[in-house]
Amino acid sequence: MRKSDVSRVNLAVTDRARAFLTIALLAVAVFLAVGLGSATPFDWPFDSSAPVLRVDNHTGPFGSALAFLVVRLFGSLLAWSVPILLAGLAIALARDAEAPVRRVALKGFVAVVLLNAFFAVSPVTRDAISLRGWLGDGVAAGLSAVFGEVGAAIVLVATVLLLALGEAHILNWVGAAARGLALRSREAFEGARAAFARRREVMRDYVKSAVERSAGDEDDAPALPQEAAADPAPVRGASTASLWDEPAEAVKKRRREPDIAIAEPPRPEPKPRARRRAPDADGDAPTTPISDASLPPLSILEQPVDTGATFTRDDLRNWSGVLEEKLNQFGVQGKVTAVHHGPVVTTFEFEPAPGVRIKDIVSRSDDLALAMRARSIRLIAPIPGRAVVGIEMPNPKARTVYLYEVLSEVTETQRLKGVMIGVGVDVVGKPFLMNLCEAPHLLIAGTTGSGKSVCLNALLASILLHYRPSDVQLLLVDPKMVEMSQYNGIPHLLHPVITDPKEAARVLEFLVAEMGRRNELFRRHGVRNLESYNAKIAMLKSDDPALERLPYIVLVVDELGDLALAKGVDIESLLTRLAQMARAAGIHMVLATQRPSVDVIVGKTKANFPTRIAFRVATKVDSRTILDTIGADKLLGKGDMLYLDAHHPQPARLHGAWVSEPEIEHLIQHWKAYRFDPSSLDLSDGRAGSAEAGGDLDPLFDDARNIVVAFKQGSTSLLQRKLHVGYSRAARLLDQLETQGIVGPPDGSKPREVYQDAAHPHD
């Protein structure tokens, strides 16, 4: 049976049959290992020199006979390779890996027989009868008759080395598996520790509530959190019939063997999914305050299941030869010098012959796509700093890039240095991270179905995984009213998800006012940006409520086109002002649109957004609008993107990370499990520019008045600590206190003066 036929048979095996074979192979491997380990020379069957009176083998007479047969076939030393190979094959079946373990198991069996034969012809070991087996003696006798003992030894060693040479990458696979096991162990420990801390807090509150109830308190005890089942994430990417599906033998006849370097893409280790904890949506209110919140574990995300290599080095060499042949037919001479195989595309580095012009290659891109039977081909002519042209061809089947494998590369130092976002991986599979503080704003464009919404969800998931509400606060604008509504109710939100363009304009006005307030604070403290300000506050370690730590604010707009059409110049001027001045204040914007036209992305807006992401667009004109160059019209969709920033003149091709709705829901439920004041998310009052004049007072007004009178100072941070409210509600309370004449006007960074004393709090 040919190798391709064997692969089809393996693919036809059902999950149940594979599980059965896995268990059976592991059982045989363990049984044989125990039989070999407990075997003694006195219980060998069929041995007249030591008749069997009593079998001492732990596996009984059958195991003793089986161990005897294996030792006789392979020798006492190499007999242990049989259970090892069986266990390796069982692992391969459990992982459903087409390579490398199945192929290595077959080659390993052949190598064991050849090594056994080497023991029979080697002058050092041929007298050691226990090391030799029947199979090795038979092979050694045949080779010795043809080549002699020395020649047979040389042939055997060379054959074993040739077998091992083709599987040298198995060492990398074993190392990756070891690293993955260590990472899983660490994450499991951190997740268990966080879960134990939350459980202990809930139990403490449960006991406290029970004691109060026994004393006459009618309040219900808080419910313990429950386990929530996790749904598997869908796998993206579909097979496409192309020239890449041709057998390697058919292609090999048509080309010469090119001297190229094959770059192996990094392979993330598949990890088992962890059980996730989610609060009971219908249970009692959460009891743990948001100030004691712990970050969700990374294991809450979906983890890659099968990331094995799809193609062999021979396949890549064959396709390189076909590419050279097709270009030669078009009159373009040259050779492929390197190949980089990634999860979605494969990049061929083509070095043109002397005299070949770049435009001759670029003009043949459509013809080359037709000749190679590819959906689209993108050319990088030339690769910056290299004397080669990059030819990016899509793989027949794209591998899903999970957000887990991208965010697992984030270090604690990176997390604390800004707002780290997991974007995806590059063309060779290396994770790509972006610091939103360095961007400092992001412009995203792409047609429907290109991956734009998934990119925004990955951005928000990165923030919810790595930052508490005291670190990063969010403002979400969703004119389509369906993309971000699920985020309502999380403590990171300064305001519920905004769907009205007029309300979005008021929020932009609030950000402009907040930017001015922060810049004034920075000026008074002699610092230049938010990071320096927070570092100075932490260094002072003062109990002064006026010295408050400020969080980053991230504004995410899902559809810029709807806002531009609704408000026009007002929105444009506010966005321009924020883009020009908000970076130092720690305010960052992420704007997305599916209409990258000049009436939506105007020149003034684009000039202040140096960092841009373009997913697949309809035309070259749209590509030039967002990137100032073509290429986005040649993308594949489903997360395939071009990334451009101020540090690189040419856009880089990336593949966006996939995050599913169940993953987002688990993150949201994690943060909803903590107690916080939902009214603190309201920004409908005068923080956007108008002061509250009259109207109903806040229900906490009397408590706020008593606090500022008792402490003889008024500040938002004092009210936040004592009343357990958010910044916006504390600021509104302070404005009401000023309107009622209880506290004075703001005086820079100093606390407000209190006009009443404790003896006459109601004067």
Q: What is the DSSP string of 114-165?
A: HHHHHHHH-TTTTT-GGG--HHHHHHHHHHHHHHHHHHHHHHHHHHHHHHHH
Which residues of the chain does CATH 1.10.10.10 include? Answer: 691-763
In the block, residue with structure tokens 């000023």:
738
> What is the structure's pLDDT at 754?
86
> What is the structure's pLDDT at 301?
92
Q: Are 103 and 167 in contact (CB under 8 A)?
A: yes
Query: CA 243, CA 494: separation in Å to the nearest integer?
Result: 53
Q: Read off the pLDDT of residues 705-734 as tens digits, 9 standing for 90 and up.
A: 989 988 888 888 888 888 887 777 888 888
Report the CATH number of the 313-394 domain: 3.30.980.40
Query: CA 106, CA 124: separation in Å to the nearest integer?
Result: 28
Q: Read off the pLDDT of residues 451-484 as tens digits, 9 standing for 90 and up.
A: 999 999 999 999 999 999 989 999 999 988 888 9
Phi, psi of 603 (to 5 degrees): -60, -40
CB-facing half-sphere around the CA of 32: CA atoms within 13 A = 21
Query: CA 16, CA 75: separation in Å to the nearest integer?
Result: 36
> What is the structure's pLDDT at 664?
94
Order of strands across the sheet that contains 587-593? 431-435, 420-426, 652-656, 640-644, 611-614, 442-445, 587-593, 552-557, 472-477
CB-facing half-sphere around the CA of 229: CA atoms within 13 A = 2
Which residues of the chain does CATH 3.30.980.40 include? Answer: 313-394
DSSP string, 201-263: HHHHHHHHHHHHHHTT--PPPPPPPEEE--PPPPPP-----SGGGS-HHHHHTTS-----EEE
Which residues of the chain does CATH 3.40.50.300 include? Answer: 436-631
Mean per-residue pLDDT over the chain, rounded: 75
> What is the structure's pLDDT at 14?
55
> What is the structure's pLDDT at 195?
62
The H or E element containing residue 590 is strand 587-593
Does the bond joining 51 to the residue before it have cis omega, within 30 degrees of 0? no
Does the bond joining 751 to the residue before it have cis omega, within 30 degrees of 0? no
Query: CA 653, CA 642: separation in Å to the nearest integer?
Result: 5
> What is the structure's pLDDT at 200?
64
Q: Which of 396, 404, 394 is closest to 310 using CA atoms?
A: 396
Query: CA 483, CA 462: separation in Å to the nearest integer?
Result: 17
List, for the chain, all residue ranges whose pLDDT scores fall below the cut of 50.
Answer: 1-13, 46-53, 97-99, 168-171, 173-174, 177, 211, 213-258, 270-283, 568-569, 681, 683-695, 761-763
Does the bond joining 440 to the residue before it have cis omega, within 30 degrees of 0? yes
Q: How many residues does the chain have?
A: 763
Q: Read off the pLDDT of residues 599-648 as tens digits, 9 standing for 90 and up.
A: 778 777 788 898 999 999 988 898 998 988 888 888 988 899 999 988 88
> What is the structure's pLDDT at 661?
92
Q: Are 202 and 287 in contact (CB under 8 A)?
A: yes
Q: Read off the pLDDT of residues 479-514 as tens digits, 9 standing for 90 and up.
A: 888 889 899 989 999 888 998 887 888 888 889 888
> What is the structure's pLDDT at 235?
37
| Region label for 241, one of left (φ > 0), alpha (ψ between -120 and 50) or beta (otherwise) | beta
- The CATH class, in words, for 691-763 is mainly alpha
In the block, residue with structure tokens 């970076």:
583
- The CATH class, in words, for 436-631 is alpha beta
Q: CA quadruple 640, 603, 572, 561: dihedral positive or negative?
A: negative
Query: CA 506, CA 516: separation in Å to the nearest integer?
Result: 15
Burial class for 337, CB neighbours closer than 10 Å (0-12, 13-18, 19+): middle
Query: CA 489, CA 469: separation in Å to the nearest integer?
Result: 12
CA distances to 275, 405, 409, 658, 660 from 233, in Å: 15, 14, 21, 9, 6
Query: CA 460, CA 668: separation in Å to the nearest integer?
Result: 10
Phi, psi of 726 (to 5 degrees): -80, 175
Q: Are 351 and 388 in contact (CB under 8 A)?
A: yes
Q: CA quadruple 437, 438, 440, 446: dihedral positive or negative?
A: negative
- Interior/surface letters 379-404, b for 16+ CB within 10 angstroms, e for the rest: bbbbeeeeebbbbbbbbbebbbbbbb
Q: Read off the pLDDT of residues 150-201 as tens digits, 9 standing for 90 and up.
A: 777 777 777 777 766 655 444 454 455 455 555 555 656 666 666 666 666 6
Say what the pTM is: 0.57
First to last CA, the chain: 98
Radius of gyration from C-alpha coordinates of the chain: 34
Query: CA 632, CA 643: separation in Å to the nearest integer?
Result: 10
DSSP annotation of 681 reads G
